[in-house]
Amino acid sequence: MDLLEYQGKQLFARHDIPVPTGAPATTVADAVAAADEVGYPCVVKAQVLIGGRGKAGGIKLAKDRHEAEDAANAILGMDIRGFTVHEVWVEAASDIAAELYASIVFDRSARKPLVMLSTHGGMDIEEVAETEPEAIATLHVDPLLGFQDFHARRLAFDAGVDADVVRPIGALLSRLYTAFVAEEAMLVEVNPLIITGDRQVRALDAKVTLDDNSLFRHPDNAALRNPSAEDPQEQMAKERGLTYVKLDGNIGILGNGAGLVMSTLDVVALAGGKPANFLDAGGGSQADEVTSAVEVILANPAVTAVLFNIFGGITRCDEVARGLIQAFASVKPTVPFVVRLDGTNDVEGRELLAEAALPNVHVEATMDAAAAKVVELAA
């Protein structure tokens, strides 16, 4: 789960990480009121889950109330690389003397949190890593020992930060690590981390990704969901407890098991088709869940054909067939379906489909044949 910048900053503030004061707003009037509250000059920042906001005109400085109103007017409703701006964050402008970069990532390969610090802040860190890797100080932390003060000093000296701010930057890194562990984050990133004219350190941006699997322990974070930024079908699927990812093609896909569904997308693509979604109906699907999944797939207007690819283990093919028959009774699809059932109770499943004689449902024996058929029908 990715947080918006201001949600990240509020999370940082709970862990005593210094951030500029500010307030969120969803209307121009609220934005102006927020600007009055934080004082001028202030910055109006688009809150969307995509990078490159500054370049797209989504971050504007306002010297007075009039400029704050203009900025909020321009930014609210703006489209930034496909994301509509529904919310802005208005914060006090900062006096920036230097821009640094700090982050902690969940390094799955090393099986340790990786802390990074660089004096090359305010730019794309992947680019810095490529052109000047020595400019990024890195350190892996033993998760059972935690982040120690000497770790912070080592990173600060390795990165070459000015001697007078080694202590405050070290303190900020410590708190960032505390937040990373306490909130069960997969990523916390501050870019830029600034040093102000009067030598204060402050997180000027916040990028936070939380572990979805830990949200049951963090009800406040779980409530931060940002439905306006989510795709409508993805939102619908989430409400129904389905694992669904929207893609940009026209062939709806349903399978059981994440690996098999990924593989199905690939086989369809190899056959020349474009998948419209990833949908894992999971292990042991019952008929009702299959019906519910069909509704989600067909809610995407781009879908012109649907492929069911089931290899039954715990999932029984006859249950899947019942779900499909039930879906045809309730949803009455107008697009063709291709169904491949293999594994547990596959014969029973195919018999049920044959008896039901659903309109425009084609049964294929193998995954490859089913993919070829659905590509043909979707065209």
Partner 1 sequence: MSILIDKDTKLVVSGITGREGTFHALNNRRYGTQVVGGVTPGKGGQDVEGIPVFNTFEDAVRDTGANTAMIFVPPRFAADSILEAADAGITTIIAITEGIPAHDELRVATHLARTPGLRLIGPNCPGVLSPGKANVGIIPASFFKEGNVGVVSRSGTLTYQIGNELAQSGFGNSSIVGIGGDPIPGTTFIDVLHLFQEDPETELIVLSGEIGGDAEERAAEFIEANVTKPVVAYIAGFSAPPGKTMGHAGAIISGSQGTAAAKAEALEAKGVKVGRTPTEVARLAVEILGG
Q: From residue 251, how far is each of 126, 336, 338 by CA, in Å?
A: 34, 10, 10
CB atoms closer than 10 angstroms to residue 288: 13
Q: Are 50 and 80 in contact (CB under 8 A)?
A: yes
**Residue 53: which residues within 8 A CB-CB, separation 6 or more?**
45, 46, 59, 80
Q: Report the nearest approach of partner 1 to the CB of residue 41 (Å).
A: 34
Q: Which is nearer to partner 1, 144 or 357 (CB)?
A: 144
CA–CA gap between residue 36 and residue 13 (Å, rounded): 21
CB atoms closer than 10 angstroms to residue 248: 9
Q: Report the nearest approach of partner 1 to the CB of residue 275 (Å).
A: 6
Amino acid symbol at 338:
V
- Our separate counts of H helices and E strands in the chain read 13, 18
Q: For tokens 């934005």, what's the residue?
A: 31
CA–CA gap between residue 118 and residue 345 (Å, rounded): 58
Q: Report the nearest approach of partner 1 to the CB of residue 186 (Å).
A: 6
CA–CA gap between residue 99 and residue 122 (Å, rounded): 6
Q: From residue 193, how far is each of 166, 177, 189, 201 by CA, in Å?
A: 13, 15, 9, 7
Q: Which is nearer to partner 1, 144 or 163 (CB)?
A: 144
Amino acid symbol at 61:
L
Q: Are 281 and 256 in contact (CB under 8 A)?
A: yes
Structure tokens at 269: 């693509």
Q: Which is nearer to partner 1, 72 or 265 (CB)?
A: 265
Q: Are 143 and 110 in contact (CB under 8 A)?
A: no
**159 phi and psi, to 5 degrees?**
-75, -20
Q: Which is nearer to partner 1, 76 or 268 (CB)?
A: 268
CA–CA gap between residue 347 and residue 277 (Å, rounded): 27
Burial class (CB in 10 A: 0-12, 13-18, 19+), 58: buried
Question: What residues act catalytically?
Answer: 101, 189
Give the CA count within 13 Å in the CB-facing half-sphere of 227.
9
Q: Report the nearest approach of partner 1 to the CB of residue 367 (Å).
A: 7
Q: How far apart are the first and last CA of the chain?
A: 35
Sites of contact with partner 1 (CB under 8 A): 106, 108-109, 111-113, 126, 142-144, 181, 184, 186, 211-214, 216-217, 243, 245, 247, 255-263, 265-270, 275, 278, 280, 283, 311-315, 342-344, 366-368
Q: Report the nearest approach of partner 1 to the CB of residue 222 (Å).
A: 13
Q: Which is nearer to partner 1, 161 or 221 (CB)?
A: 221
Q: Report the nearest approach of partner 1 to the CB of residue 14 (Å).
A: 18
Q: Which is nearer to partner 1, 61 or 347 (CB)?
A: 347
Q: Report the nearest approach of partner 1 to the CB of residue 284 (Å).
A: 8
